[in-house]
């Protein structure tokens, strides 16, 4: 399978394209629509609902930077930081919509940052789905 091949997944009202080799991990969402996908050197965490995190505590971490953007008309914030002790980087997105969304991509430094950015940039908010949770 080519490295860049992707598959579209939907979690709650969030649709995005993930590298095809990622697999969904087990785990019961407690009080939100959430999904976790993992593959060698990379993990993607999607959380949609009133309790999803705003990512504020990452401010001050190594190489931290953030940018404001719009996703499907909603204000959003993309952040980036590194964890040098673990040789990883993180790209994350927070969308402040009536149904807030947080997506966090952690990856080893062996994986180009563009992979995480492509995942984030593929995100679209889907037609409202009362209970969310369609899987790949």
Chain positions contacting another protein, by CB under 8 A: 26-34, 36, 45, 47, 50-61, 83-85, 92, 102, 104, 130-133
Q: Closest distance between another protein and the C-beta of residue 92, in Å? A: 8
Do 125 and 72 meet the contact criterion of CB atoms below 8 Å apart?
yes
For another protein, give the closer residue by CB, 71 or 79.
79
- Minimum CB separation from another protein for residue 78, in Å? 15
Please check whether residue 68 is in contact with residue 55, taking contact to mean a CB–CB distance below 8 angstroms.
Answer: no
Residue closer to another protein (CB basis): 2 or 60 = 60
Query: 73 or 98, CB closer to another protein?
Result: 98
Least distance from C-beta 5 to another protein, angstroms?
A: 26
- Residue closer to another protein (CB basis): 55 or 116: 55
Contact 83, 62 (CB under 8 A): yes
Q: Minimal distance in Å, beta carbon 16 to another protein?
A: 16
Q: Whole-angstrom Cα distance, residue 112 to residue 45?
A: 18
Please give the structure tokens belonging to residue 115.
């992979």
Contact present, 80 and 90 (Cβ < 8 Å): yes
Q: 26 with 13: CB under 8 angstroms?
A: no
């Amino acid at each position: 399978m080519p490295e860049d091949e992707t598959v579209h997944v939907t979690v709650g009202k969030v649709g995005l394209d993930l590298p095809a080799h990622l697999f969904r991990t087990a785990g019961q969402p407690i009080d939100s629509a959430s999904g976790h996908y993992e593959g060698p050197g990379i993990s993607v965490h999607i959380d949609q609902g009133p309790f999803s995190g705003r990512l504020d505590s990452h401010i001050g971490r190594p190489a931290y930077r953030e940018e404001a953007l719009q996703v499907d008309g909603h204000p959003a914030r993309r952040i980036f930081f590194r964890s040098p002790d673990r040789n990883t980087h993180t790209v994350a997105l927070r969308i402040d919509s009536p149904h807030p969304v947080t997506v966090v991509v952690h990856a080893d430094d062996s994986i180009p940052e563009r992979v995480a950015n492509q995942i984030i940039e593929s995100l679209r908010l889907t037609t409202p789905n009362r209970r969310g949770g369609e899987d790949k």
